[in-house]
Structure 1
Amino acid sequence: MSNKLLPVVTILLGLASVPLVLMYVYLLVDTFTETRAGEWLPHAFTLAHWHFLWQDLPGHPNIWAVTLNTMLFASTTTLLVVVISSAAAYTLSRMDIPLRGFFLGGVMVLHAFPTVTLLIATFLILQYVGLYDTLPGVILVKASLELPFGIWILKGFYDKVPWEIEMAAIQDGASRFRVWREIVLPLVRPALLPLGIFSFLAGWSEYLLPQVLAPGNHAQVLSVYLAGLIADDNNYDMATFKAVGLFYAAPVMILFIVFQKQLMNMYNGGNKG
């Protein structure tokens, strides 16, 4: 991009961002203030809209138990995706296994399937194995749906690692597992952190799977908790709903601010057939 156009593009992007920034500022202010009906400006500071942090809302589970469920759901999904993807992608990239092309094509096909098309089959399987309405059951389903993306991304990074490095280690007597763990895996580390972050965010924001496959309060996550607030006609409170939404979004914003540079490395690996 020309240096002359850079200030113009920056100004245009800044102007386009103004409504979004104002929306978030108003959301933050509105959760800590009281505003009279028909007025725009708040007239008093209050913490009443955040009372869900120390007092259970009527008809809803404890917010901290729900937050713990959400953290377990997102973090365990992340761990499964990163560990399994790193091993499966290495196998598809380096080893001449039977039906390798079929597996690579299958990974792409599975990634293309919308979640909603698999719900009925997934529901029946979880009921059959006794994992319906449990957090482990939803974690396994979510991790399996995220695996194709992780495998394909990491395969691109593995493809860029020179063969000579591995061959030298194997000729020196190292096993294939040791070569992968001690030599190859550190070389693709720039992809592991972004993949872990994306997997965590995918688990943190998931709504459909927990709502359908774990509807009970004991396995409820924040996305389902938030949807329950807006659907509760008996205890409807828009200000509290906004506060819970801000509470729900805070970890995502913190993760993006802290790891935004690492997230940009996600697609640097490329793909090779």
Structure 2
Amino acid sequence: MAASSAPSANFRTWPIVLLLTLLSLPLVVMYIYLFVDTVTDSSTGSLIPDTFTLSHWDFLWHTKVGKPSVWVVLVNTLLFATSTTTVVLLISSMVGYALSRLNVPGRSVLLAGVMVMHAFPSVTLLIAIFVVLQMVGLYNTLIGVILVKAALDLPLGIWLMKGFYDTVPWEIEMAGITDGASRFTVWRRLVLPQVFPALAALGLFAFLSGWSEFILPRVLAPGNNVQVFSVYLASLIADDNNFDLSMFKAVGVFYAIPVIVLFVLFQRHLMNIYGGGTKG
């Protein structure tokens, strides 16, 4: 009788769900109206749309005067984000393993140095990075910005991967080494699958960070042929003579679509990052 009279878990949590729903409702309405506003027109002074139109999306098939093609910008942004993600995942997964498992001389000093590097905001290093890229001939190139962005994201990736490697039992590696596998084979076939949630989350974080990056491409790669979406959006705002607010909203929606799709597909991995590696 006592068990039957106790309130269920769903009954106890519905006030929290209701509160979160009410708090989120204005944001949902705002985003819905933002999308509707990109495919409609309304009379002057009216907030209610009265005409359906796709003219605000004509940037997809017409290149704006003085601006690069939006498809070139899309390719540049994808190349920038995916290349940064690849570099961060590759180096972080190896360095994190070395710091977790190998007796590296000065390991504590190296870890402290990595944290200090992560503490510096990227904007404080812009002048030095600008000079270095000019000296090596990588200014106004995507490869230069990719290398800089990956270097700035690596400290977080190294610390994250080291923490996950620390949770993987030694017995898994000892079993592989006993069977004659090399250290590299043990790492690739036995250890990496144990930390897949961290790899997935780190890859998603690195991609979204590269996708939304503005200050580095704006300063280090300002040319139209290497422009990314964040810089493209800023250039639309700066164009006072031909500013089109509706087209600006449409470009913003187009810019946000990949982020929304990625979150929907990989949100489970983002939640699993708090669980650490797989033990046993």
Same fold (TM over 0.5): yes
| Residue 83 of structure 2: aligned partner | 76
Q: Is the Cα–Cα contact under 8 Å of residues 153 and 269 in structure 1 kept in the other structure?
A: no
TM-score, normalised via structure 2 length: 0.93
Q: Deviations over 1:178-215 (max 9, x none)?
A: 11111111111121111111111010000000000001
Q: Which residue of 2 aligns with 1:17?
A: 24
2:218 counterpart (211, 229, 243): 211
Letter of the 1:62 partner, please give it: S
| Contact 1:58/1:235, CA 8 A, preserved across alignment | no
Note the residue ranges of structure 1 that are not aligned, 5 or more in a row: none
**Pairing of 1:118-137 with structure 2 (within 5 A):** 118-137=125-144
For structure 2, the residue ranges without an aligned partner over 5 or more in a row are: 1-7
Choose from 96, 117, 135 the match for 1:110.
Answer: 117
> Deviations 1:26-78 (Å, cap 9, x if unpaired)?
10110000111111111100000000000001221100000000000000111
Pairwise CA distance, 1:269: 2.2
For residues 23-172 of structure 1, the aligned pairs below 5 Å read 23-172=30-179
Question: How far 1:266 moved relative to its partner?
Answer: 2.0
Cα root mean square deviation, aligned = 1.4
Identity between Structure 1 and Structure 2 (%): 61
SS at match of 2:168: coil
How many angstroms apart in 1 are the aligned matches of 2:264 and 2:180? 44
- Quote the Cα distance in structure 1 between the aligned partners of 2:265 and 2:175: 38
Q: Which runs of 4+ in 1 moved over 3 A?
A: 1-5
Describe the SS at the equivalent of 2:200.
Answer: helix
Q: Does the 8 A contact of 1:67 with 1:221 survive in 2?
A: yes
TM-score of the superposed pair, with normalisation by structure 1? 0.96
Equivalent residue number for residue 3 of structure 2: none
* Residue identity matched to 1:131: L
Aligned partner of 2:239 in structure 1 is 232
Partners of 1:269 and 1:94 in 2: CA distance: 16
* Aligned partner of residue 272 in structure 2, secondary structure: coil
1:201 matched residue in structure 2: 208
- Residue of 190, 193, 197 corresponding to 2:197: 190
